Amino acid sequence: LTRRLGLPQPAPLRRWSLDTPRLEGPLLHLTAGSGAGAGADTGARARAQAGAGARASAGADVGAVAGTAAGLAEVLAGVGLPVVGRADRPGAVVLDATGVTTAAGLGDVHAALHPVVRSLAPGGRIVVLGTVPSPDDHHQAAAQQALEGFVRSLGKEIGRGSTVQLVRLPGVRAPGAPAPDVQVPDVRVPDVRVPDVPASGIRLPGGGATAQGAASTLRFLLSPRSAYVSGQVIELTDATPEPVTDPAAPLAGRTALVTGAARGIGAAVASVLARDGARVIALDVPGVREELERTAARLGATPLPLDITAPDAADRIAAAAPDGLGVLVHNAGITRDRRLANMPAERWTSVIEVNLDSVLRTTDELLKAGTIRRGGRIVATASIAGIAGNNGQTNYAASKAGIIGLVRSLGPRAAADHGVTVNAVAPGFIETKMTAAVPFFIREAGRRMNSLSQGGLPVDVAEAVAWFAQPDSTAVNGQVLRVCGQSLLGA
């Protein structure tokens, strides 16, 4: 029917499966900014120098190149794609733009990506690495903030199921700063033949530790797991990542509790966390006990029929997880839609209580009791409605915007006081039984109001939650990730 109506047909998205665990094509690593020249691949040159055994002995700039080139090369090698300096049809592109500090330097961004953007494979990925805009240098701040507008615009024009993201790294060291004492491992870089290049002038992020902190984020963004995430800005902290002992089961040995887990997004989250090795406790209201038990049985999870708004909810959760929780996912939520002028108080109160107040209360109590262990992860569910608002959903939008406020405020303090990170996903139009019941034309409009021109699946949200939950996602904290195909609504 959509073809008969002349509606554009979206490109199929390549999602993770055992048959498609990674993208197709090599990973092209480029650099823009100080010393890069017009699109010069200084990232590849620095990697080649590191592979040849360069040592940080000739000054701060050499130290910056050696320390981070080795660290970033190691991280990119761990993505699972061959890292190259040239490619006719790359499956992914990483552009290191941390050295872009002036308006003129933005020309390097154009020069680097202009020749390759058309050749990117369908369903490809572009990740731009930037740094936090400086409050003390308005030229640097202007240049780095410009990257956000660039990334969001490119995400809307690239098409063919491809996505574009900006990752802001911490700790970029200016030229002339003291060099660290680094020993650079032998890094083998396939398919790259480059001449020697002076190290001076190349400006890269502040050390291998920074690069390692980005490892889980780059693995996620440069994989089929991030198929429905585009146009997003992710800001990393300088926290040291925890090691992952088994990449095939990164959550092994951890207990994860998911609320609202009987069906839909919650069931998908429980399934992906179980796939990644977690012992899952699936929580939902007693009214859907049978469906909850079926979902739990399918996943090998433990069902916990419980109203999350109950006064003793936190105590009962703690009792169900006597060894503590490694992951807590707040997914339970309800809608009671009506315009404010026609909304009785009980409709307002019930939504706020389930979607926001219960999250605040149980989180506070579980943190205070130590039920969420050090190194734990809290992931809440916001919504595009909490960012953009929605007609007839003042209660729902308020509750989901409140989740965003919770995450941004609690994240840094929870990390400092409890060793726990706090993040949120903000889904857009996700294909569920509820959206399937929406009238056809409204449903089709909702599906297509994003850069990927289609609705997402519950598994898209689940993959984002699983990324937040990874042990080596320690540097990801206080973030709200929109899983919306880059919706046209909201910022």
pLDDT in tens, 214-244: 999 999 999 999 999 999 999 999 999 999 9
Per DSSP, the three-state class of 106 is helix
pLDDT in tens, 95-130: 999 999 999 999 999 999 999 999 999 999 999 999
Token look-up 């872009």 returns: 100
Residues 119 and 215 in one domain: yes
**Mean pLDDT, to the nearest integer, of 145-161?**
98
CA distance 467 to 226: 9
Are 451 and 400 contacting, i.e. CB atoms less than 8 angstroms apart?
no
**Would residue 341 count as lying in a domain?**
yes
Q: 385 is in which domain, residue-wise?
A: 255-483
Count of C-beta atoms within a 10 Å radius of residue 258: 35
Residues 210 and 260 in one domain: no
Q: What angle do CA 411, 226, 454 make, to 5 degrees?
A: 115
Q: At which of 201, 235, 269 does a domain end? A: 235
**Mean pLDDT, to the nearest integer, of 15-25?**
96
Instruction: List, in order, residues 6 or more apart from 366 with CB less than 8 Å away.
Output: 314, 317, 318, 325, 328, 372
Q: What is the pLDDT of residue 212?
A: 86
Q: What is the pLDDT of residue 152?
A: 98
**Mean pLDDT, to the nearest integer, of 139-149?**
98
**Would residue 11 count as lying in a domain?**
no
Residues 190 and 264 in one domain: no
**Would residue 333 count as lying in a domain?**
yes
Q: What is the pLDDT of residue 322?
A: 98
Q: At which of 169, 203, 235 does a domain end? A: 235
List, edge to edge, every strand of the sheet that includes 255-259.
Answer: 302-305, 279-284, 255-259, 325-330, 372-381, 421-427, 480-483
Residues 419 and 447 in one domain: yes
Range from 191-200, 359-368, 425-434 carrying the lowest mean pLDDT: 191-200
Q: What is the pLDDT of residue 206?
A: 44
> What is the chain's mean pLDDT, rounded?
87
**Would residue 229 count as lying in a domain?**
yes
**Mean pLDDT, to the nearest integer, of 392-417?**
98
Residues 214 and 334 in one domain: no
What CATH number does the domain containing 152 carry? Answer: 3.40.50.720
**Would residue 282 count as lying in a domain?**
yes
Per DSSP, the three-state class of 406 is helix
CA distance 125 to 94: 8
Count of C-beta atoms within a 10 Å radius of residue 47: 28
DSSP track, 48-103: HHHHTT--S-S-HHHHHHHHHHHHHHHHHHTTTS-EES--SS-SEEEEEEEE--ST
Residues 229 and 289 in one domain: no
Residues 212 and 264 in one domain: no
pLDDT in tens, 441-470: 788 888 889 999 999 999 999 999 999 999
List the catalytic residues. 396
Q: At which of 191, 206, 235 does a domain end? A: 235
Residues 311 and 215 in one domain: no
**Would residue 467 count as lying in a domain?**
yes
Token look-up 């887990």 returns: 261
Residues 198 and 332 in one domain: no
Are 443 and 435 contacting, i.e. CB atoms less than 8 angstroms apart?
yes
Instruction: List, in order, residues 6 or more apart from 5 with CB less than 8 Å away.
Output: none
Residues 318, 324, 328, 331, CA torsion sign: negative
Residues 229 and 324 in one domain: no
Q: What angle do CA 86, 91, 93 make, to 5 degrees?
A: 60
What are the Cα distances from residue 480, in Å, to 55, 311, 335?
39, 28, 21
pLDDT in tens, 331-386: 999 999 999 999 999 999 999 999 999 999 999 999 999 999 999 999 999 999 99
* Token pair recorded at residue 478: 């206080």
Q: What is the pLDDT of residue 254?
A: 98
**Mean pLDDT, to the nearest integer, of 182-201?**
39
| Domain tally, the chain | 2
CA distance 359 to 138: 39
Q: What is the pLDDT of residue 200?
A: 32
Residues 116 and 54 in one domain: yes
Residues 438 and 292 in one domain: yes
**Would residue 68 count as lying in a domain?**
yes
Q: What is the pLDDT of residue 69?
A: 56
CA distance 150 to 162: 15
Tell whether the model's pLDDT for residue 188 goes beyond 60.
Answer: no
CB burial class (10 A; 0-12, 13-18, 19+) of residue 88? exposed
**Would residue 262 count as lying in a domain?**
yes
Range from 150-154, 171-175, 347-351 carrying the lowest mean pLDDT: 171-175
